[in-house]
């Protein structure tokens, strides 16, 4: 790679614009990453683009088309992209070739694409064609690297580990209770916080829950009250296939029931409702959570949103299957009642699961905390 280590005067500004372009990409790009691109000539932006719905144009191609549609000549221009241009024939042809063919002279990309089919090959194609290439790390733009990674936290985790990014939503009183001992839980957090929860459901590729929650609440488990171009997949962990075929969640979208024990007649009833049944069992006869996550990764789910009860929450956290907690806390005390996580008992405080606060904000009357597990 030709490696200029000093950024040009407006490089940061134009990369920030490329980041803004990426923010226009919708969840319909999934499983593809959200990418933004601006093409700049003589310090003037002549093309803008962002990743379209899966199977359609990538950001670079959109930006080249935008420049062409306005009659601009992109030869000799610089392309700023939030991710390394792709090098492979996937659902669409390689963006690196499109940039070369268009006569782009310089490419500044925020980060390398962790997709093993790309992983540096996009940069190599550009360099081989004599294009000057730089990445945010060449310029020591640590903040840009973080922002670019954050945009595609699920895609990058899946590419790096084969598993989706798992975000677990919990809501409770300030003393960490989700329900009274009677089971009553409606409502502890405010409607603003519950609505905010739908925004997080909407950005996920799947919503995952346990059979306990389905039997207790009969949730629809879909996105409501906000516009979304598609509903996430619904996944229920139901070891013994106890779900009723009349459960509300079968009414729409794509449903996957994960069990640990075959039951042909129950399977047939569930399949009759248009859902899929998958048996993934571990050596102790329970759903194998790690194999499940790998399976969800194989199915190209980037982000999984968990909304479950304390038992499944605890099992997923104990198995280190969770990346992030999304916690809503109401300014109330309930005293006794169910907690947020049924974790295995520790013998020493040093064994506590370690997290870092990623974001803390107020939503309506409640507090919203995003905390990430330390790896």
Where does this chain bind ligand AOF (CB under 6 A)? 32-33, 35, 51, 58-60, 83, 85-86, 90-92, 95, 113, 115, 118
Query: What, of Zn ion, ligand AOF, none, does residue 113 touch, CB below 5 to 8 Å by kind?
Result: ligand AOF
List, as one string, the DSSP characters of 230-255.
Answer: SPPEEEEE-TT----TT-GGGGSS-E
Beta partners for residue 169, in sequence order: 326
Stretch that binds Zn ion, among 17-25, 94-102, 207-215, 347-355 (CB under 5 A): 94-102
Residues 103, 135: Cα–Cα separation, whole Å: 19
CB 212 within 8 A of CB 243: no
Based on the shown chain and the rule CB under 5 A, indicate whether residue 58 belongs to the binding site for Zn ion: yes
Q: Of residues 21, 22, 37, 86, which one binds Zn ion by CB under 5 A? A: 86
Based on the shown chain and the rule CB under 5 A, indicate whether residue 83 belongs to the binding site for Zn ion: no
CA 301 from chain centre, in angstroms, equals: 8
Closer of 159 and 293 to Zn ion (Cβ): 159
Residues 8, 31: Cα–Cα separation, whole Å: 33
Compute the least distance from the CB of residue 42 to ligand AOF, in Å: 25
Compute the least distance from the CB of residue 120 to ligand AOF, in Å: 12
Residue nearest to ligand AOF (CB): 90
Answer yes or no: is 174 a known binding residue.
no
Answer yes or no: is 112 a known binding residue.
no
Answer yes or no: is 213 a known binding residue.
yes
CA angle 108, 110, 113 (to 5 degrees): 110
Residues 241, 264: Cα–Cα separation, whole Å: 10
Compute the least distance from the CB of residue 299 to ligand AOF, in Å: 14
Closer of 86 and 277 to ligand AOF (Cβ): 86
Answer yes or no: is 30 a known binding residue.
no
Based on the shown chain and the rule CB under 5 A, indicate whether residue 121 belongs to the binding site for Zn ion: no
For residue 295, indicate whether it is catalytic. Answer: no
Compute the least distance from the CB of residue 19 to ligand AOF, in Å: 13
Active-site option among 28, 60, 271, 345: 60
Residues 374, 372: Cα–Cα separation, whole Å: 6
Compute the least distance from the CB of residue 27 to ligand AOF, in Å: 13
Query: What, of Zn ion, ligand AOF, none, does residue 289 touch, CB below 5 to 8 Å by kind?
Result: none
Answer yes or no: is 312 a known binding residue.
yes
List, as one string, the DSSP characters of 33-101.
Answer: PP-EEEEEETTEEEEEEE--STTS--HHHHHHHHHHHTT---TT-EEEESSPPP-S-SSS--HHHHHHH
Answer yes or no: is 198 a known binding residue.
no
Closer of 52 and 228 to Zn ion (Cβ): 52
CB 30 within 8 A of CB 54: yes
**Residue 19 backbone dihedrals phi, psi, to 5 degrees:** -65, -40
Positive or negative, the CA dihedral 63, 114, 256, 325 is: negative
Burial of 292 (0-12, 13-18, 19+ CB in 10 A): buried
Closer of 17 and 193 to ligand AOF (Cβ): 17
Compute the least distance from the CB of residue 107 to ligand AOF, in Å: 11
CB 18 within 8 A of CB 80: yes
Based on the shown chain and the rule CB under 5 A, indicate whether residue 34 belongs to the binding site for Zn ion: no
Query: What, of Zn ion, ligand AOF, none, does residue 239 touch, CB below 5 to 8 Å by kind?
Result: none
Beta partners for residue 41, in sequence order: 44
Closest CA to 260 of 323, 317, 211: 211
Based on the shown chain and the rule CB under 5 A, indicate whether residue 301 belongs to the binding site for Zn ion: no
Compute the least distance from the CB of residue 97 to ligand AOF, in Å: 11
Residues 315, 317: Cα–Cα separation, whole Å: 5
Q: Tell me the three-class secondary structure of 312-330, residue by residue.
A: HHHHHHHCCCCCEEEEEEE
Residues assigned a catalytic role: 60
Q: Annotated binding site: which residue ranges?
A: 58, 86, 95, 171, 185, 187, 201, 213, 217, 221, 224, 239, 307, 309-315
Interacting residue ranges for Zn ion, rule: CB under 5 A: 58, 86, 95
**Which residues are annotated binding-site positions for substrate?**
185, 201, 224, 307
Annotated binding residues for NADP(+) = 171, 187, 213, 217, 221, 239, 309-315
């Amino acid at each position: 790679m030709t490696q200029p280590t000093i950024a040009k005067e407006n490089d940061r500004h134009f990369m920030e614009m490329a980041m803004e372009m990426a923010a226009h990409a919708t969840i319909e790009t999934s499983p593809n990453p959200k990418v933004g691109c601006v093409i700049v000539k003589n310090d003037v932006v002549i093309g803008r683009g962002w990743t379209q719905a899966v199977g359609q144009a990538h950001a670079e191609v959109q930006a080249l088309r935008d420049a062409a549609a306005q009659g601009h000549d992109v030869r000799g221009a610089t392309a700023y992209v939030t991710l390394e241009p792709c090098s492979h024939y996937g659902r669409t042809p390689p963006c690196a070739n499109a940039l070369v063919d268009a006569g782009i002279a310089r490419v500044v990309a925020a980060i390398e694409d962790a997709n093993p089919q790309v992983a540096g090959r996009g940069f190599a194609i550009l360099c081989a064609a004599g294009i000057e290439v730089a990445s945010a790390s060449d310029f020591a733009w640590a903040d840009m690297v973080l922002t670019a990674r954050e945009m595609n936290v699920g895609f990058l985790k899946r590419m790096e580990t084969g598993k989706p990014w798992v975000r677990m939503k919990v809501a409770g009183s300030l003393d960490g209770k989700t329900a009274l001992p009677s089971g009553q839980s409606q409502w502890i957090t405010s409607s603003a916080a519950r609505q905010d929860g739908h925004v997080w459901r909407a950005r996920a590729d799947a919503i995952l829950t346990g059979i306990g929650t389905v039997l207790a609440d009969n949730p629809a488990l879909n996105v409501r009250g906000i516009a979304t171009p598609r509903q996430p997949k619904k996944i229920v962990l139901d070891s013994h296939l106890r779900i009723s075929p009349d459960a509300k969640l079968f009414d729409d979208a794509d449903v996957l029931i994960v069990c640990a024990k075959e039951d042909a007649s129950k399977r047939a009833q569930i399949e009759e409702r248009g859902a899929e049944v998958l048996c993934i069992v571990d050596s102790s006869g329970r759903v194998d959570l790690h194999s499940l996550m790998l399976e969800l990764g194989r199915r190209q789910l980037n982000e999984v949103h968990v909304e479950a009860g304390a038992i499944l929450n605890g099992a997923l956290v104990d198995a280190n299957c969770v990346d992030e907690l999304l916690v809503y806390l109401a300014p109330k005390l309930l005293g006794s009642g169910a907690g947020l996580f049924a974790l295995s008992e520790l013998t020493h405080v040093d064994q506590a699961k370690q997290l870092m606060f990623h974001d803390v904000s107020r939503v309506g009357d409640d507090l919203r905390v995003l905390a990430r597990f330390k790896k």
